[in-house]
Amino acid sequence: MKLVGNWSYPTAVRFGAGRIRELAAAAKAAGMARPLFVTDARLAGLPVTKRALDVLADDGVAVSVFCDVQPNPVAANVEAGLKALRRGDHDGVIAFGGGSALDAGKVIAFMAGQRRPMWDFEDIDDWWSRAETAGILPIVAVPTTAGTGSEVGRAGVISDAATRRKTVIFHPLMLPKISICDPELTLGMPQLTTAGTGMDALAHCLEAYCGAAYHPLADGIAVEGIRLVKDNLARAHQDGSDLGARGHMMAAAVMGATAFQKALGAMHALSHPVGALYDTHHGLTNAVFMPYVLVFNRAAIAGKIARLAAYLGLEASFDGFLAWVLALRAEIGVPHTLAGLGVDDRQFERMSEMATRDPTAAGNPLPIDAATCRQLYQNAYLGCL
């Protein structure tokens, strides 16, 4: 391992119950006078969104609401958002919601200043350097779930409807200027959403920790994030009004996305094609793949996982940690197989090729190729560990 790395933790995060009341001040601090408020259609009509909009109105911040965002956003959502942005002469974006709304909002703000197609900024090599930075608009992010951590990320995942492929659009200036993480916004989140987003946070922390790159800062953050998931996800799932558990899970989500600048891996590489082709929930899909990928990577990560298990108060072994993952999934209702997500085995060859090209594949502790991915899809379909 080379002791070389690029480390960055620049996001200003306003964390705590009730801090949504600071939204207008955050927008102004980020340089916005007329922001576009990006959310999804389901969330747009809920009281939690009205509360945020009232905070803005009460402090004289005029916004337009754009909510044409799918659960797995596509290029057409970004294009429609850009039209709304330009029509309203908006000078920034407030991205409000789960990972889909946050990702779409961030990419809309980024693409506001670009003349090249969005796909030219996929997270490949240094493609981000093609961007014209002067026109990238500021972003304030407000998560209403606790999973993706997009509120502290420099990328947005957008699906290409033509190729049915999830694409990671990346630029350092896509990072929100300010994020407001208010766990009150997640109270009452449905159990299935709590499970999926919480397991997404776990997957981010776990894949970052297992990655081979040298990044001890990320490792420390990831380990503590996993502890917060262990102590709080089942609680939040059981009692949607448990503000303490909700707050700790929101922190774990931020920690996962902060840590995964080190690496992601096969969980995400396998999950992205499934989400693109079957429109499954991203976090739940990661959760299904989690034990199968852990077993595949065992030779490379067993020692690290044993140390992690000891820190968590589990049996200090790979098997002890794997047993906890399986028990947690069962407790919160995560399917054990792809079939439980409504995914069949007809497109495994296609998905395997897509997975090997996914930028997250390179971060896996062991190399993966199409044959490896095909076997992992088969294992996850049949439930063979």
Which position has the token pair 């929930």? 281
Q: What is the mean pLDDT of residues 158-163?
A: 90
pLDDT confidence bin for 161, thresholds 50/70/90: confident
CA distance linking residue 122 with residue 334, whole number of Å: 31
Q: Which residues contact 126 (CB under 8 A, 6 or more apart)?
A: none
Give pLDDT, residue 340: 96
Q: Which residues contact 74 (CB under 8 A, 6 or more apart)?
A: 158, 159, 160, 161
Given a contact cutoff of 8 angstroms between Cβ atoms, the answer to whether 146 and 252 are in contact is yes
In this predicted structure, the answer to whether residue 2 has a pLDDT above a threshold of 80 is no
CA distance linking residue 277 with residue 226, whole number of Å: 29
pLDDT confidence bin for 1, thresholds 50/70/90: low
Token output for 190: 């449905």
Domain boundaries, the chain: 12-185, 190-382
CA distance linking residue 269 with residue 354, whole number of Å: 8
Give pLDDT, residue 8: 66
pLDDT digits (tens, 9 = 90+) for 171-198: 999 999 999 999 999 998 999 999 999 9
Q: What is the mean pLDDT of residues 159-169?
A: 90
| Structural domain 190-382, CATH architecture | Up-down Bundle (1.20)
CA distance linking residue 201 with residue 63, whole number of Å: 31
Q: What is the mean pLDDT of residues 223-229?
A: 98
pLDDT confidence bin for 242, thresholds 50/70/90: very high
Q: Which residues pair with 181 in a beta bridge?
A: 15
In this predicted structure, the answer to whether residue 164 has a pLDDT above a threshold of 90 is no
Give pLDDT, residue 308: 98
Given a contact cutoff of 8 angstroms between Cβ atoms, the answer to whether 78 and 104 are in contact is yes
In this predicted structure, the answer to whether residue 5 has a pLDDT above a threshold of 70 is no
pLDDT confidence bin for 349, thresholds 50/70/90: very high
Which position has the token pair 């439930």? 383
pLDDT digits (tens, 9 = 90+) for 39-68: 999 999 999 999 999 999 999 999 999 999
CA distance linking residue 263 with residue 269, whole number of Å: 12
pLDDT digits (tens, 9 = 90+) for 87-144: 999 999 999 999 999 999 999 999 999 999 999 999 999 999 999 999 999 999 999 9
DSSP at 138: P
Percent of the chain with pLDDT over 90: 95
Give pLDDT, residue 10: 75
| Structural domain 12-185, CATH architecture | 3-Layer(aba) Sandwich (3.40)
The better pLDDT of the pair 10, 149 is held by: 149
Given a contact cutoff of 8 angstroms between Cβ atoms, the answer to whether 325 and 291 are in contact is yes
Q: Which residues contact 53 (CB under 8 A, 6 or more apart)?
A: 37, 63, 65
Give pLDDT, residue 188: 83
CA distance linking residue 31 with residue 176, whole number of Å: 12
pLDDT digits (tens, 9 = 90+) for 258-281: 999 999 999 999 999 999 999 999
In this predicted structure, the answer to whether residue 86 has a pLDDT above a threshold of 80 is yes
Give pLDDT, residue 163: 87
CA distances from 320 to 207, 208, 327 (A): 18, 20, 11
CA distances from 165 to 101, 218, 278, 354 (A): 18, 28, 11, 7
Q: For the chain, how far is it from start to end, CA to CA, in angstroms?
A: 29
